Amino acid sequence: MITAAPALTPEKAVIPLPAPRWQEHWRQAIRDPAQLLAALALDPQELGVSAEALAQFPLRVPRSFVARMRRADPSDPLLRQVLPIDAEMQVVPGFSFDAVGDGAAKKATGVIQKYRGRALLVATGSCAIHCRYCFRRHFDYAGENAARNGWEDAVAAIAADPSIDEIILSGGDPLSLTTAKLAELTTALAGIAHIRRLRIHSRLPVVLPERVDEELVQWLDQLPWPVAFVIHANHAQEFDTAVDAALARLRGTGAQLLNQAVLLRGVNDDLDALAALSERSFAAGVLPYYLHQLDRVQGVAHFEVSDERATALHAGLMARLSGYLVPKLVRELPGDTSKRPL
């Protein structure tokens, strides 16, 4: 007798487990310095790991980012960006708690406007990775995020100001919100005629490339505005094949990909490292945008590079690379009408 049912071989009957969702990778991040250093075969004592610094701003680093660190190298440039160390607890004059004047530039809950035409939404306080040099280490996220009340205050403030033509999703990391939550915002913004561009500032395609999943790509695909997607990578070693694939998916949506980096002592403050970062970014479809002098907040002084050295490095990049591979060297200061070129 012939039946219509296909013969099931034992192999075909095995249902493969679904790939873990990005939230699972997020949850599996390393939060214990001892565990991080054990994975890298390093000694916590030797590195000056600080419990106090850890209490002030917890360690958080996704496992795939750890996998890009070199083993047994205490000066690995990726490790330096995430490890809480004693130097953070030094109180250094000139380094404050609100170095960039976010407090004064608040327009509504979670909406910051400093520059003409551009409103920045602090969409959330969460990040997949905690970068030790981050100025937001002292920011009141819990109170100041625009996603509260279904984005109501933020959307009302933007709707009321026709001079705003670009919305910047920032944070924290805006892609730490679910895609459904992001879609809730863009659906509300789509009703505001004066918005012309959407910009997304996110480190997630670099530190947790699994976040760029099919759902995110579909959301980006159907947005009614041109999109600028600004990633954040400080060193060529942060790129790998998974990051390349995530960036290729983003590019496939038509988004313009840009990179902002922070100039950091002991991480990327040499000409070879900066040139390699620009070249590696471009190979992944990303143009260099800004190279930031760090914001002078308490706890980050040991990362600071002098302006003299920063401008010399920048001149070196200009002498070495194609013009479009040279980022703008800038600093952010309260009261300025734009980032200030050095």
Sequence ranges of the binding site for [4Fe-4S] cluster = 127, 131, 134
In the complex, minimum distance from the CB of residue 75 to ligand PLP, in angstroms, rounded to a whole number: 30
Which of ligand PLP, ligand SF4, none does 173 bind, CB closer than 5 to 8 A by kind?
Answer: ligand SF4
Q: Does 136 participate in binding ligand SF4 (rule CB under 6 A)?
A: yes
For residue 105, the one-letter residue type is: A
Q: How many residues bind to ligand SF4 according to rule CB under 6 A? A: 11
> Binder to ligand SF4 among 68, 203, 211, 339 (CB under 6 A)?
203
E strand segments, 41-174: 106-108, 111-115, 118-122, 166-170
Q: Are 206 and 231 in contact (CB under 8 A)?
A: yes
Least distance to ligand PLP from the beta carbon of 39, Å?
34
Name which of residues 145 to 184 contact ligand SF4 (CB under 6 A): 171-173
Which distant-in-sequence residues (6+ apart) come within 8 Å of 5 by Cβ?
none
Q: Indicate the annotated binding residues.
A: 127, 131, 134
Nearer to ligand SF4, 177 or 195 (CB): 177
Q: How many other C-beta atoms are found inside a 10 Å radius of the C-beta of residue 136? A: 21
Stretch that binds ligand SF4, among 123-131, 150-158, 179-187, 210-218 (CB under 6 A): 123-131
Distance (Å, rounded) from C-alpha 309 to C-alpha 171? Answer: 30
Per-residue mark of binding to ligand PLP, 105-134 (x: CB under 6 A):
-------x-xx--x-x--------------
Pick 50 or 81: Cβ nearer ligand SF4 = 81
What is the rounded CA–CA span in Å between residue 276 and residue 203? Answer: 19
**Residue 331 vs residues 149, 153, 210, 278, 279: alpha-carbon distances, Å:** 34, 30, 31, 19, 23
> CA 334 to CA 342: how far, in whole Å?
15
Q: Which of 99, 100, 121, 127 binds ligand SF4 (CB under 6 A)?
A: 127
Q: Which is nearer to ligand SF4, 115 or 141 (CB)?
A: 141
Comparing C-alpha atoms, which of 89, 97, 197, 77 is closest to residue 138? 97
- Residue 168 contact partner, candidates ligand SF4, ligand PLP, none, CB within 5 to 8 A by sort of partner: ligand PLP
Helix, strand, or coil here: 342? Answer: coil
The pair of structure tokens assigned to 237 is 């070693």
Shortest distance, CB of residue 99 to ligand PLP, whole angstroms? 11
In the complex, the smallest distance separating the C-beta of residue 122 from ligand SF4, rounded to whole angstroms, is 10
Choose the stretch contacting ligand PLP; rule: CB under 6 A; options: 9-17, 38-46, 151-159, 331-339.
331-339
Residue (of 294, 313, 272, 325) closest to 100 by Cα position: 294
What's the chain's Rg over C-alpha atoms?
A: 21
Half-sphere exposure of 147 (CA within 13 A, CB side): 23
Interface ranges with ligand SF4 (CB under 6 A) = 127, 129-131, 134, 136, 171-173, 203, 232
